[in-house]
Amino acid sequence: MRRGLISWARDEVPPSVLEGRVARLQEQMRNADLGAMLVYTSFARPSAVAWLTHFVPYWNEALLVVFPTGAPVLLAAFSKRVHDWIRSVSHLGEVRSAPDLGRAAAAFLKERPPQPSRIGVLELDALPWSVAEPLVKSEYGALVDATDLFAAIRQPADEVEIRLARRAATIAAQAFKTIPRGAKRASELLSVLERSARLDGAEEVLPRLAPDLRANATLRRFEGDALLGERYAVELSVAYKATWVRFTRCVSTQAVPSSWRSAAERFVETAERLNEANLSLGPQLGPGKPVAWTLETCRGSPPLSIVATGETPSPSALSGGSLACISLQLDLDDGAWLGGAPLILGSRGQPSCLLI
């Protein structure tokens, strides 16, 4: 569940920016003959609705209904008492109570039949059946997948989103600085990371940890505790105002190995060489053998989803100016090394730019 700061500062994300995003979606909808677009949100899949309206559910579910004109309507499975809070943190035309989200959506579409009757659904395949079933059984329009339609307008990132991402990156970087040099246990480490990030205004923090790089480089979610080895790796995914970044850093309790310095330099060089035209090449890294790498971005409802990875042959397209996060694992002579950072992807022939 989300339990960090959720608030909306109008000078940080002006209403006009949100309205502009909705207008771009509406233009796409009109071109595609869609009479309405449905965008599902939960705290696991908050990003599309947040990008359009600044609303992030701390729990529960909601469905955003966008018509070809006018402000979006939120059908929210929250109790009515929460509506004032929803309005205070988001830019919406109307908020309706919808304890049974699917039925409420079907009833709403009966009340305001889409014209034309085709209804686009972002990530239709993934729509929870509890929401989808009443819509499928209703007579108010055919559901069609509108994932590509939304993705077409989602990236590249605008200046507002890049500023939020930089703030998230700064929160993460500051959290890394608080790692105690002599930390012995995972719980001690994770505690200071959480505290720092949340005190700095993070909406959410997802830490994963490989507590002993010499034994295993897999980044794990921790329930319970573990001893930290002499070398360990931390992945910190941080959200600030619904914008997510992901960092990975290796930590040595002894002097930083020279192999790590070299790996970090090459990581930066490789990340900067990436651009919209060479995603299929992946990071051409040395020294060390790349074990795994991923490039992720946000172009739908998940905060980050994979664009390219070393384990699949063909990446999907991502245009220059997109916000993305690169993560990689190297097999060095003296063990595993992990790195990761957010970047703004370069256009064809142009370098990418690491956020911080």
Residues that bind another protein in the complex, under the rule CB under 8 A? 1-7, 42-45, 58-59, 61, 79-82, 84-85, 124-130, 132-133, 136, 186-188, 190-195, 198-199, 201, 205-206, 208, 216, 218-225, 292, 294, 302-306, 309, 311-312, 327
Q: In what order do the strands lie in the sheet with 73-76?
A: 94-97, 73-76, 61-66, 36-42, 119-121, 143-145
In the bound complex, what is the minimum distance in angstroms from residue 27's beta carbon to another protein? 26
In the bound complex, what is the minimum distance in angstroms from residue 160's beta carbon to another protein? 19
Position of tokens 């930066």?
268
Residues with Cβ within 8 Å of 120's Cβ and at least 6 positions away in sequence, in order, are 29, 32, 34, 36, 37, 38, 144, 145, 146, 149
CB nearer to another protein: give 125 or 159: 125
At 290 the three-state DSSP class reads strand
CB nearer to another protein: give 139 or 223: 223
CB nearer to another protein: give 22 or 92: 92
Cross-strand bridge partners of residue 133: none
Position of tokens 């245009």?
319
CB nearer to another protein: give 85 or 214: 85
In the bound complex, what is the minimum distance in angstroms from residue 257's beta carbon to another protein? 23
CB nearer to another protein: give 17 or 144: 144
Instruction: Give the count of beta carbons closer than 10 Å to the beta carbon of residue 151.
Output: 19
In the bound complex, what is the minimum distance in angstroms from residue 97's beta carbon to another protein? 9
In the bound complex, what is the minimum distance in angstroms from residue 346's beta carbon to another protein? 23
Please check whether residue 127 is in contact with residue 300, taking contact to mean a CB–CB distance below 8 angstroms.
Answer: no
Residue 194 has which token pair?
A: 């959480």
